Amino acid sequence: MGSAAPQQNRPIKLRRNGTHGRPSRRGLRRGVAAGLLVAAALAATLARPGPQATQAVLAATTTTTPTLSVSGNHFVNGSGQTVQLRGVNRSSFVNYCSDGFGFAQGPVTQAGVDAIKAWGVNAVRLQLNEDCWLGINGMPAAYSGANYRNAVANYIRYADNDGMYVVLSLAFNAPGGTKSLAQNVMADQSHAPAFWNSVAGKFGHNNSVVFDLYNEPRPNHGADTTASYQCILKGGSCGGAGFAIAGMQELVNDVRGDGATNVLLVGGPNASERLDQWLAYKPADPRRDIAASLHVYNASPYNSAAMWNTYVAPVAAKVPVVTGEMGEDPQQTSGCQYSFSPAYTTWADSHGVSYFAFDWDTWRACDALISNYNGTPTGTYGNGWKAHFLADKNKA
């Protein structure tokens, strides 16, 4: 749904001025609108999936629901086999609902998920909008609340049918009565706990689903400091926010308090591009099912094997690392290339690090993997990623 929306309404992500030297990787075109005062958070009581079946790593023919848990520094499925997540992002769930175009750009159907599976991946990552999920702050009724939640649930069911994992990431958010039309500095105290309580209530016993608690933390204007790590962990009043922040420990406690058994992902500062103090500020989890979330682009601070060996490998030796976003920046590669990505995936494969290519949507920017939702790859970038995934699938 929503595929007829204007091209310029592709999802964007709020970025800070920082190591990239500009406000946005894909262009900042929209600010956060002010709304009425606090809207009541929705407490969802939703059916939970039943017992899960198991799946071999990257098995091409399985149609059973996979499971995922943490074992040391890697993931395992229900049969105890090591799992490395290799997948794609599906980011347009963040803004198509708020713009009133649909639940996401392109089909939210079994055929749409089958097209992703045909690339040889074993996972898909969805970026979500908290106001659309909770049905608050005047989001279009047709594409928010129960309708939005059911669309996400159906998408997960389609992925389960294909034996694929799904990562759900809280991405667009805003405090109080402000509409969530962009990504904020951190998860907001106003709605993020209600969002994750509702998500945990719906998918808390479906271990094919991974919860990425906040897409790209950016406290203290993206600074890579001890104070930023403390803010991410503890929340409260943090630099650059202007509103009460929900820390990762609180969100972990909320999700586990609801009985959810899912793997949880937690990112570091500078928009999940830093991990140097991640181990020291990892949230406590009674299940020990927490992994580190990292975003890597060629304009990121960690953009070489030397940097990955220094800052990522020590974390990957202790816990699983999931590269929730990665890809090419046209301003760094002189056009739409596939040159940085294979260098990172080669390193990641050798360290058991998972990764998700950006992005399974159609637009004219270089970070589009596809030219249509049948799965036709875009030029060098899309064809490079498709060949990589299929080669990995054939080796499995």
The one-letter amino acid at 153: A
- Confirm whether 275 is domain-assigned: yes
The arithmetic mean of pLDDT across residues 136-163, rounded, is: 98
- Confirm whether 295 is domain-assigned: yes
CA count, 13 A, side-chain hemisphere, 112 = 21
Q: Which residue has the higher pLDDT, 144 or 62?
A: 144
**Interhelix angle for 248-257 vs 226-234, to 10°?**
20
- Confirm whether 232 is domain-assigned: yes
Four-CA torsion 249, 287, 164, 248, nearest 10 degrees: 0
Are 179 and 33 within 8 A, CB to CB? yes
Q: Which domain holds residue 241?
A: 38-395
Those residues with Cβ within 8 angstroms of residue 136's Cβ, 6 or more apart along the chain or in another chain: 39, 40, 41, 42, 191
Residue 56 has pLDDT above 60, yes or no: no
- Confirm whether 22 is domain-assigned: no
Confidence of residue 75 (pLDDT cuts 50, 70, 90): very high
Confidence of residue 42 (pLDDT cuts 50, 70, 90): very low
Q: What is the pLDDT at residue 334? A: 59
pTM summary value: 0.86
Residue 326 has pLDDT above 90, yes or no: yes
- Confirm whether 98 is domain-assigned: yes
Q: What is the pLDDT at residue 392? A: 78
Helices (H) and strands (E) in the chain, counts: 13, 13
Omega before residue 359 within 30° of 0, cis: yes
Residue 33 has pLDDT above 70, yes or no: no
**Interhelix angle for 192-203 vs 146-161, to 10°?**
40
Q: Which residue has the higher pLDDT, 12 or 342?
A: 342
Residue 106 has pLDDT above 90, yes or no: yes
Residue 45, classified by CB atoms within 10 Å of its CB into exposed (0-12), middle (13-18) or buried (19+), is exposed
CATH code, domain with 340: 3.20.20.80
Per-residue pLDDT reduced to its tens digit, 229-259: 999 999 999 888 899 999 999 999 999 999 9
- Confirm whether 4 is domain-assigned: no
Q: Which residue has the higher pLDDT, 41 or 123?
A: 123
Per-residue pLDDT reduced to its tens digit, 280-318: 999 999 999 999 999 999 888 899 999 999 999 999 999
- Confirm whether 292 is domain-assigned: yes
List strands edge to edge, sheet with 82-83.
69-71, 74-76, 82-83
Per-residue pLDDT reduced to its tens digit, 163-191: 999 999 999 999 999 999 999 999 999 99
Q: What is the pLDDT at residue 365? A: 80
- Confirm whether 17 is domain-assigned: no
* DSSP label at residue 186: S
Q: What is the pLDDT at residue 125? A: 98
Per-residue pLDDT reduced to its tens digit, 7-28: 334 444 433 323 322 223 333 2
Per-residue pLDDT reduced to its tens digit, 367-392: 899 999 999 999 999 999 999 999 97
**What's the whole-number average pLDDT of the chain?**
85
Overall domain count for the chain: 1
In this prediction, what percent of the chain has a pLDDT beyond 70? 82
